[in-house]
Amino acid sequence: MNDSGNQSNLSLLRVFLDEFRSVMRQESPGLIPRLALNYVRAFLSLLCQYPNKKLASLPLYRWINLFIMCNVITTFWTMFVALPESKNVIEMGDDLVWISGMALVFTKICYMHFRCNEIDELIWDFDYYNRELRPHNIDEEVLGWQRLCYVIESGLYINCFCLVNFFSAAIFLQPLLGEGKLPFHCVYPFQWHRLDLHPYTFWFLYIWQSLTSQHNLMSILMVDMMGISMFLQTALNLKLLCIEMRKLGDMEVSDERFHEEFCRVVRFHQHIIKLVGKANRAFNGAFNAQMMASFSLISISTFETMAAAAVDPKMAAKFVLLMVVAFIQLSLWCVSGTLVYTQSVEVAQAAFDINDWHTKSPGIQRDISFVILRAQKPLMYVAEPFLPFTLGTYMLVLKNCYRLLALMKESM
């Protein structure tokens, strides 16, 4: 694979679609151009949301990144100050949804600001299989799984990019069809947000909020894609580990040679275990923010949809869109987390499936038993102190949202 460090971020994104199409046109699985994570990192860098050691050495980049973070804080504060002006439950719910979303954006870009150097190390570590274990691999099964993962990740980027742009357009175009309001309910000094009092300032703020919204949505999309891609890459590495484990049984070599190859595969397993722990530490705050924001966004948007259905169909449609986005976001995290969980347990079965392992030397049998024992403890991406990102957690979040909705409906 090529190292994206030798190319500029802009040139890397320019070749993204060409590389994606070239992989899609492969008649038989071949080498993929690079880890898809590199595209996300390049996009975040162009958004000035990735001040790693290299980019942080540029004074202009540092100042732009600081300005963006200050702008997000200012937007959040103007939304928060406007909350008491809500006239009814529907307007308050609308404000709370955007405040929750802005808090999520700020939390994630803050973690990206402080953890980007660790994320660089994680991206490097995810390429361990191609760099250390099998640098010149030509196995079609392995190449096929790598190609599939690349296509899924890249396809996910493209589809989510289109969905987020549609969502962004709906946010800043919808007020134009109404009463001349800003895209977000905010309060500014000297009533600058009033169209009748300050028309020029109003339209400046309208454009500024639209641009801020677009940038924030692109930022949180890329941060989410970074995390979800790491989940998928972990699942892929565990799948490749299982393939390598089963192939050991087909080797007609001495016990000494078998043990040497087995140790290389075990080191790969240990590398993956450490990688998951390292990623959990790097993303722990972002994971927590995601879990809390998903719960609040789903609960509030669903409740407001029911409350606004008969009173304001336009607002109800807006809340339905927000609810769908929140569901899709949480679903992607939990489905990809479940893949890691199930694939990590499969390692034990792959070790047990090694042909005639019980005829090997006692030392080899003991080592295989240790691998089986360790693999029975699944690997999980966890939002400590909350639950891991799995479908079980997904169902638990939905169940608690339903209980909260039932309570809120009874209290009305």
- Give the CA radius of gyration of the chain: 25
Is residue 178 pLDDT above 80, yes or no? Answer: no
pLDDT of residue 271: 92
The residue count for the chain: 412
| Residue type for position 46 | L
| DSSP assignment string, 331-398 | HHHHHHHHHHHHHHHHHHHHHHTSTTGGGS-HHHHHHHHHHHHHHTS----B-TTS-BSSHHHHHHHH
Cis peptide before 385 (omega within 30 of 0): yes
pLDDT of residue 67: 93
Q: For 55-73, what is each residue's pLDDT tens digit?
A: 888 889 899 999 999 999 9
pLDDT of residue 179: 64
pLDDT of residue 412: 59
Quote the longest CA-to-CA distance of the chain. Answer: 87
Calpha distance 287→19 (Å, rounded): 31
Calpha distance 317→323 (Å, rounded): 10
pLDDT of residue 231: 93
Calpha distance 342→375 (Å, rounded): 11
To 10 degrees, what angle do helices 199-247 and 313-352 make?
20
Q: For 238-274, what is each residue's pLDDT tens digit?
A: 999 999 888 888 877 787 888 888 888 899 999 999 9
Calpha distance 275→123 (Å, rounded): 10
β-bridge mates for residue 388, sequence order: 382
Look up tokens 């899709």; give the residue.
328
Token pair for 277: 């722990």
In Å, how far are 224, 256, 409 from 44, measured between CA atoms?
Answer: 11, 47, 41
To 10 degrees, what angle do helices 140-173 and 37-46 make?
30
Is residue 48 pLDDT above 60, yes or no? Answer: yes
Calpha distance 338→326 (Å, rounded): 18
Residue 367 banded pLDDT, cuts 50, 70, 90: confident
Q: Bigger pLDDT: 137 or 226?
A: 226
Token pair for 133: 């274990």
* Helix then strand then coil, % of the chain, to nearest 5: 80, 0, 20
Q: For 93-116, what is each residue's pLDDT tens digit?
A: 888 888 888 888 888 888 888 889
Least confident of 26-40, 209-223, 333-347: 26-40
Token pair for 21: 């199409």
Using an 8 Å Cβ cutoff, are 341 and 380 in contact?
A: yes
pLDDT of residue 401: 77
Neighbouring residues of 394: CB distance < 8 A, sequence distance ≥ 6: 330, 331, 334, 335
Q: For 290-308, what is each residue's pLDDT tens digit?
A: 888 888 888 888 777 777 7
Neighbouring residues of 199: CB distance < 8 A, sequence distance ≥ 6: none
- In this structure, the number of other CB atoms found within 10 A of the CB of residue 25 comes to 7
Residue 328 banded pLDDT, cuts 50, 70, 90: confident
Is residue 7 pLDDT above 60, yes or no? Answer: no
CA 392 to chain CA mean position, Å: 19
| pTM confidence score | 0.89
Q: Bigger pLDDT: 85 or 5?
A: 85
For the chain, the domains span 16-411
Phi, psi of 382 (to 5 degrees): -120, 135
Look up tokens 């089986």; give the residue.
372
Look up tokens 């008969």; give the residue.
310
